[in-house]
Amino acid sequence: MMIQSTRAQWPHTIDDIIKSLDGVWGLVGATAVNGNLLRLERSLHEPLQYVVTEYNGSDESDVVRKQVFSADKRQEAINDFAAAIGFIV
């Protein structure tokens, strides 16, 4: 017997982004609406900062853009990431 499974696109909500970002690894990744891989990372050391990195397609060696947000710009970083993956913020 063969069971077929499919994984739903994740994150499903902006709360999913926040939960992952606040988790142990401080990282969330998804495919942007333009097809590029996108990551939002929280630094694991001081100074606290958030980094949005966009890669060309799925090639993690080809960075299209990298934007660093200070700790007080956390919500701006989340909104940037969320908008890039198709959420209306």
pLDDT digits (tens, 9 = 90+) for 58-86: 999 999 999 999 999 999 999 999 999 99
How does residue 89 score in pLDDT terms, banded at 50, 70 and 90? Answer: confident
Q: Percentage of the chain with pLDDT > 70?
A: 90
**6 phi and psi, to 5 degrees?**
-130, 145
- Model-level pTM? 0.85
Mean pLDDT across the chain, nearest whole number? 90
pLDDT digits (tens, 9 = 90+) for 22-35: 998 999 999 999 99
The Cα–Cα gap between 32 and 11 comes to 11
Torsion of CA 52, 88, 15, 35, to 10 degrees: -50
Q: Is 63 helix (H, G, I), strand (E, B) or coil?
A: strand
